[in-house]
Amino acid sequence: MLQEVTRQAQPRRRLGSRLGEKTFAVLMTLPGLALLAAVVVYPLVAALVSAFYKQSLLFPGREFVGLDNVRAVLNDNFSQLLTQTLVFTVGTTLLPFVIGFGLALALNTRIRGAKVLRGVMLIPWLVPGVVVSFLWMWIFNANYGVLNAILQGLGIIDDPQAWLAKPGTAMAAVIVAKSWQSFPWMMVMLLAGLQTVPRELHEAAEMDGAGVIRRFRSITVPHLKGIIGLVILLEIIWNFQHFDIIYVLTGGGPAGSTQTFATAVYETAFRSYDLGRAGALGLLWMLLLMVLVVVYIRFTEAGEE
């Protein structure tokens, strides 16, 4: 009798407390969710909705215009903007990857001072974006810049160049500055990956007569596939929307040659005060970005299971 009572009572109590636990778990997420809804979800949706209205930042009121803004944006140098954004994104992903991977491999060997160098190489990453811009603005300076002095000294150029003022070189300059800031992150991630490659595997392959390149291709790269995919994907997502360095270094110029989606949306909203067009640009931008984010989420999900 007594046994039966406890057997009955126990599941009920556990169920009851579990319901309480669930309520608690949901309550715990509420402050964060409310904040995210207010400062991320709502602003994003509202900005995208404004794509369908004629609307100014300076005056209240708006007028529904359907796809007019999207059409106007597509007709107005859109392919140039897209190309430049892609060039910037690809450049600022590949260059840091090459530098970061090279350094990770080099500092994963047993050369003297590798440990100290791993720390020292992180310095560029610790520098705030605006400071990166100031520093490279000074290095690229047309009249007194150290880059001109070095290249002239080496005989590579004859006259000092205005790197940031010429459409041909401005984009390259911006890519170099951004890459300088982000390669250490690549290096750290890839080094962490390299350190998970079992040393025995390399030693065994070495015994079997596999050379350095062979071992790199058959052991290192397959082991790092996951982390390489992750860092490249994340860099693409970040660079696709990077703002600070471009804005301070060139302001999107000269002649719009370093304009990307990020700077173009900003200029349209806060220089031309045209919220409708900014929203339309943002809409197209988000569509492209969503593809990347979905790929990223699939990727992390695959990694978790």
Partner 1 sequence: MALLSTARPDLPETASTAAQTRRRNRRSPLTSERRSVKISAWITVGVFGGFALLPVYWLLATSLTPRTSVFTYPPSIFPARPTFEAYRALTENAALFGYLRNSIIVSVVTALLSVVVSASMAYSFSKYRYRGRRSLMYLVLASQMFPQALLLVTLYAVFSAYGLLNTYSALVLSFTTFTLPLCVWMLKGFFDTIPNELIEAARVDGASPLRIYVTIVLPLAAPGIVAAGLFAFVRAWNDFIFALTLAGPDKQTLPPGLVNTFIGEAATAWPELMAASLVVSLPVAIAFIALQRFLVGGLTAGAVKG
Query: What residues between 79 and 98 interact with partner 1 by CB under 8 A?
Result: none
Shorter beta-carbon distance to partner 1: residue 1 or 105: 105
Region 222-261 residues binding partner 1, contact defined as CB under 8 A = 230, 234, 237-238, 241, 243-244, 247-248, 261
Applying CB under 8 A, does 175 fall inside the site for partner 1?
no
Q: Nearest distance from residue 2's CB to partner 1, in Å?
A: 21
Chosen residue from 116, 146, 221, 295 binding partner 1 by CB under 8 A: 146
Which residue of 1, 75, 144, 156 would you call a contact of partner 1, by CB under 8 A? 144
**Contact region for partner 1 (CB under 8 A) — 4-12, 18-26, 71-79, 164-172?**
18-26
Using CB under 8 A, pick the residue from 122, 157, 221, 287 that binds partner 1: 122
Residue (171 or 246) nearer to partner 1, CB:
246
Q: Which is nearer to partner 1, 78 or 238 (CB)?
A: 238
* Comparison of 1 and 24: residue with beta carbon closer to partner 1: 24
Q: How far apart are CA 238 and CA 97, in angstroms?
A: 14
Q: Which two tokens stand for residue 290?
A: 């969503």
Measuring CA to CA, which residue among 174, 148, 182, 176 is closest to residue 250?
174
Residue count at the site for partner 1 (CB under 8 A)?
102
Span interacting with partner 1, options 2-10, 39-47, 68-76, 79-87, rule CB under 8 A:
39-47
The yes or no reply on residue 154 touching partner 1 (CB under 8 A) is no
* Candidates 3-11, 80-88, 135-143, 163-171; binding stretch for partner 1 (CB under 8 A): 135-143
Query: Which of 1, 30 has the CB closer to partner 1?
Result: 30
Q: According to CB under 8 A, which one of 9, 15, 28, 287 is a site residue for partner 1?
A: 28
Nearest to 144 by CA among 129, 161, 167, 157: 161
- If one asks whether residue 47 binds partner 1 (CB under 8 A), the answer comes out as yes
63 strand-pairing partners: 54
Three-state SS string over the chain comes to CHHHHHHHHHHHHHHHHHHHHHHHHHHHHHHHHHHHHHHHHHHHHHHHHHHHEEEECCCCCEEECCCHHHHHHHHCCHHHHHHHHHHHHHHHHHHHHHHHHHHHHHHCCCCCCHHHHHHHCCHHHHCCHHHHHHHHHHHCCCCCCHHHHHHHHCCCCCCCCCHHHCHHHHHHHHHHHHHHHHHHHHHHHHHHHHCCCCHHHHHHHHHCCCCHHHHHHHHHHHHHHHHHHHHHHHHHHHHHCCCHHHHHHCCCCCCCCCCCHHHHHHHHHHCCCEHHHHHHHHHHHHHHHHHHHHHHHHHHHHHHC
CB nearer partner 1, residue 1 or residue 64: 64
Q: Under rule CB under 8 A, which residues in 269-298 are in contact with partner 1?
A: 269-270, 275, 278-279, 282, 285-286, 289, 293, 296-297
